[in-house]
Amino acid sequence: MSEPRFATFTELLRARAAELADEDVHVFLRETAGGTEAEHLTYGRLDREARRIAAVLQEYDVAGRPVLLVYSSTVEFLKAFAGCLYAGAVAVPVPIPGEAGRDQRLGRTTAVLGDTGATLVLTETAAAPEVALWLARNSRPDAACLVSDMPGVGDADAWQPVTARPDDLVFLQYTSGSVCEPRGVTVSHRNLLANQAALQKVLHTTREDRFGSWLPYFHDMGLVAHLLHPVWLGTHCVQVAPLSFVKHPLRWLQAVDRYGVTVGGGPNFSYDLCARRVKDEQIAELDLSRWRLALNGAEPVRPESLDEFARRFAPAGFRPEALYPCYGLAEATLVVSGGVPGTPHVRKDFDRTALEHDRVLGATAGGRARTLVGCGTPVDVEVRVVDPLTHHELPPGTVGEIWLRGHSVARGYWRRPTETAHTFRASLNDEESNFLRTGDLGMLEDGELFVTGRLKEVVIVNGRNVYPQDVEWAARTVSPALTFGAGAAFSVDAGGEQLVLVQEVRGAGGAELRTVAQRIQALIGKEFEIPAGNVLLVRPGTVRRTSSGKVQRTLMRGLFLDGVLRGDYEVLTPDVRALARPQDVLFGEDLLRPEGADGGRRW
Amino acid sequence: MTVHTGRPAADGVLPHEWLYARLSLYLRRAPETIDPTVPFAEYGMDSVAALSLCGDLEDEFGLEVEPTLLWDHPTVESLVRHLSSVLPAAPAHARDRH
């Protein structure tokens, strides 16, 4: 069902609007006191609203220029996104900044505003005061804030159709890159259409499919697979707000049941959340039998999570073969590989010690084994496994960096020629050029892609990509005792990926150290939205750096896991303690806590 | 369905065992290792864990709580004190859950 007749996503959307004017393109389930309230958007209305918004945008001369989109309602977001398409602007989906988005300290959205150089922000009435305040605070009086859902704004008939070319940009994805060094992946019409066609081939989707999502619109898997793929097909998506989902995971499953959702998913942790939070009596009332693809991507897929979800939701008619691990990344627009729909995913046991050294051996009897879940077969993309140092291709069954080439691979990073050349224009074996370096480690075995680890230092927890340098930078702001100390953040695998922060401290001691650590933990837990159960405060000079001053995180991680690195004050989660301090765990817990082992609660 | 997850605490209608069981699940540690005076963040509390407990409190007690609840009341002690003041006088375990 590939449709080569469309040269741009804009053409496709206009054709859908003409053909399916009265059909739903989107249903947003708004959280209310008693549950949710459905708001429907039809293709016809989307087209009309997009023309109206585009007419306003055209007054600002936005063609080819970035426009930030800040929304809480995905109905309003979609209208604005389509408005950008119609005006030839480059949409930049971002989270709500400031207090409401709990983003004041980190300023992710502020970093994107700066990096894009955008002078226009589109938002909705509910978020407008927050956005206006944020722009004023950031001394960007030159940036205009347009409220797209305000009645009487724009005239759909005043819109001047724009002819886009396949290589014009549609949107920027800021899912990779740190706050310190934001990187907007530039996705063109050609990239988007190629990836939509790949999604269809991978997932075997048709117009009969119904999509169900809780992912934010600024997440690549949310935008490309759940919001835009239904448009490409001519069907619709039912959306639960991310906050509603995390508070009440049942809401998503109820949407799957009520709307007959066949395709929908999220990162691995969302399945843990459902299995943990939804009660047996609630499961008994659900019918999940029509759900044919429960996508699991964007963070490492854990076999335990898949098993537990399948077991818990079997009484609701959930089919284990619906569990659908897949692999993709923003730099390739989204999807790279996936399994065969309707068949069980692939699992294989490997020797754990060999994998830890990025080598592959089949598991042996009696040896420590790690079960890896296969991410399926690559579709419409060339995949090579490459030695990251020599840039030579490795033989099958060897772990190396995953390199990609194809029409889905984006053009580069917005206004970053050096990083673009390094990441998107790599040369293989000194002869083939223009490969994308994913920074992920993996291997191909009988055509199945296994992702085994990561070359880049990003930490992935709760489906979030957290960059060590951001954590290190933010931690230093909590106390003057840390201002001049180096820090090293990295992750360890202890029943799931866990963050560890090693931070140098000066001029503080005793009980102060604990207070400092608590402040760091609260900051990371709240602002980065990932657990910070492991903090080591160490003496100056402990954090190793290269002669050029670069923090040696991998080295610090090794020292920590070997039990060599210890803090003057340290707090560790039970899982990580068992990993890095097996001796202490044998003798009884919390031996190293300054308060001693009697801190336990009495009740 | 009724809430019968333990004895109501002397200082309010919030069942302590229920609260510790939920915290134990989200913080991935045994309930007896959770000190009521130690900030949740020290145990690795993050936004997903904090929002999960907010959702539980809404489901179990029909409360509407702010997403920032656990950051504003960052220990068991202060959370229980706050909840005791906002929980309705009638025992929650008589109420139907939806």
Nearest CA of chain A to the CA of B83: how many Å?
A: 18
User: Residue A4: what pLDDT?
Assistant: 60
User: Residue A594: what pLDDT?
Assistant: 37
Say yes or no for a CB contact (<8 Å) between B42 and A571. Answer: yes
Q: What are A473's two structure tokens? A: 């930078």
Say yes or no for a CB contact (<8 Å) between B55 and A248. Answer: yes
Which tops the pLDDT comparison, A24 or A135? A24
Residues of B in contact with A518 (CB under 8 A): 39, 41-42
Burial grade of A15 (CB within 10 A; 0-12, 13-18, 19 or more): middle
For residue A117, is pLDDT > 60?
A: yes
- Asked if A600 has any chain B CB less than 8 Å from its own CB, the reply is yes
* Domain extent listing, chain B: 16-94
pLDDT tens column, B44-84: 999 899 999 999 999 888 888 888 899 999 999 999 999 98
Residue with tokens 């003041």: B85
Lowest mean pLDDT of A99-103, A161-165, A191-195, name the range. Answer: A99-103
Q: Is A284 helix (H, G, I), strand (E, B) or coil?
A: coil
pLDDT tens column, A315-330: 999 999 999 999 999 9
pLDDT tens column, B12-41: 567 889 999 999 999 989 999 999 999 999
pLDDT tens column, A44-70: 999 999 999 999 999 999 999 999 999
Name the residue type at position A145. C
Which tops the pLDDT comparison, A582 or A148? A148
For residue A250, is pLDDT > 90?
A: yes
Q: What is the DSSP letter of A589?
A: T
Say yes or no for a CB contact (<8 Å) between B46 and A247. Answer: no
In percent, the amount of chain A with pLDDT more than 90 equals: 74
**Nearest by Cα to A297 from A204, A225, A235:** A225
For residue B2, is pLDDT > 60?
A: no
In A, residues 245-304, which contact B (CB 8 Å cutoff)?
A: 246-249, 269, 273, 276-277, 281
ipTM score:
0.83
Q: Which of A495, A517, A526 minimises the CB distance to B47?
A: A526
Domains assigned to chain A: 1-21+42-164 (3.40.50.980), 347-454 (2.30.38.10), 459-599 (3.30.300.30)
Q: Is A81 helix (H, G, I), strand (E, B) or coil?
A: helix
Chain A residue with CA closest to B26: the answer is: A276
Contact indicator for B95, B62 with CB cutoff of 8 Å: yes
Q: Is the pTM of this model over 0.80?
A: yes
pLDDT tens column, A457-510: 888 888 888 889 889 989 998 999 998 899 999 999 888 899 999 999 998 888
The pairing of strands A347-351 and A293-296 is: unpaired
**B16-94 CATH fold:** 1.10.1200
Residues of B in contact with A243 (CB under 8 A): 51, 67
Interface test with A, best of B28, B63, B66 (most A CBs within 10 A): B28
User: Residue A586: what pLDDT?
Assistant: 57
Residue A496 backbone class (left: φ over 0; alpha: ψ -120 to 50; beta: rest): left
Q: How far apart are CA A188 and CA A245, in angstroms?
A: 31
Long-range CB pairs of A576-579, under 8 A, 24+ apart, other chains included: A576/A492, A576/A494, A576/A498, A576/A500, A576/A533, A576/A534, A578/A494, A579/A492, A579/A494
Residues of B in contact with A500 (CB under 8 A): none
Nearest CA of chain B to the CA of A507: how many Å?
A: 22
User: Residue A33: what pLDDT?
Assistant: 78
- What is the residue-wise DSSP string for A314-379? GGGT--GGGEEEEEE-GGGSSEEEE--TTSPPPEEEEEHHHHHTT---B--TTS-EEEEE---EE-
Provide mean pLDDT across the span A28-38: 89
